C-alpha cells in the first residue's frame, strides 16, 4: 500500500502524514498535483530536514547496485510508480520519521539504497505501537 493511500488508517491511529521533498515550493506543488497526493508536501531545497534526520547520501553501489535496482523494479511493479525526473541531489537517500507531539522522534527508518522504500504497513504498525 502506498503511503498517501493509507491516510485514513494513519489518521485513525492519531498520526498526521507530511511529505518533505528536496524541491522548491513550486516543484512540490506540481509533484503533489501530478501524483494526486492528498497530503501536505513541503519543500526543503536546502535538505535541512534530511540532515537533521541523519539521512545519508548514497554511494555508487547504493544508487546503481543490484539491490537498489531490484528493489526499485519490485516497488515499481507493485505500486505502478516509476522514477520520474530527479529534482535536487540524486544521491540523497530518504526515510521516514515519526515525531511525537512534544517533538521527540519515536521512530526512524532510513533508506539503505535508492530503491529502498518506506512501506506504509510497517510505518502504520510502528505508529500504532506508539
pLDDT, tens only, 2-33:
676 788 898 888 889 999 999 999 999 998 99
Query: Where is pLDDT greater, at 79 or 9?
Result: 9
Handedness of CA 92, 98, 101, 105 (dihedral sign): negative
pTM of the model: 0.78
Contacts of 86 (CB under 8 A, 6+ apart): none
pLDDT of residue 117: 79
pLDDT of residue 81: 67
Query: Where is pLDDT greater, at 48 or 120?
Result: 48
SS (H, E, C) 42-81: EECCCCHHHHHCCCCECCHHHHHCHHHHHHHHHHHHHHCC
Residue 84 — φ and ψ, nearest 5°?
A: -100, -160
In the chain, how many domains are there?
1
Q: What is the CATH number of the domain that holds 77?
A: 3.40.30.10
Note down the domain range covering 30: 3-129
Task: Check if the beta carbon of residue 63 is closer than 8 Å to that of residue 114.
Answer: yes
Amino acid at each position: 500500500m502506498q503511503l498517501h493511500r493509507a491516510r485514513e488508517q494513519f489518521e485513525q491511529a492519531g498520526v498526521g502524514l507530511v511529505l518533505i521533498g528536496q524541491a522548491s515550493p513550486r516543484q512540490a506543488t506540481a509533484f503533489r498535483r501530478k501524483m494526486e497526493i492528498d497530503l501536505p508536501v513541503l519543500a526543503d531545497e536546502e535538505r535541512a530536514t534530511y540532515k537533521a534526520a541523519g539521512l545519508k547520501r548514497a554511494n555508487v553501489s547504493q544508487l546503481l547496485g543490484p539491490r537498489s535496482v531490484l528493489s526499485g523494479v519490485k516497488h515499481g511493479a507493485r505500486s505502478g510508480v516509476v522514477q520520474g525526473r530527479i529534482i535536487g541531489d540524486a544521491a540523497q537517500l530518504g526515510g521516514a520519521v515519526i515525531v511525537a507531539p512534544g517533538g521527540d522522534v519515536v521512530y526512524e527508518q532510513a533508506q539503505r539504497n535508492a530503491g529502498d522504500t518506506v512501506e506504509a504497513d510497517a510505518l502504520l504498525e510502528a505508529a500504532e505501537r506508539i
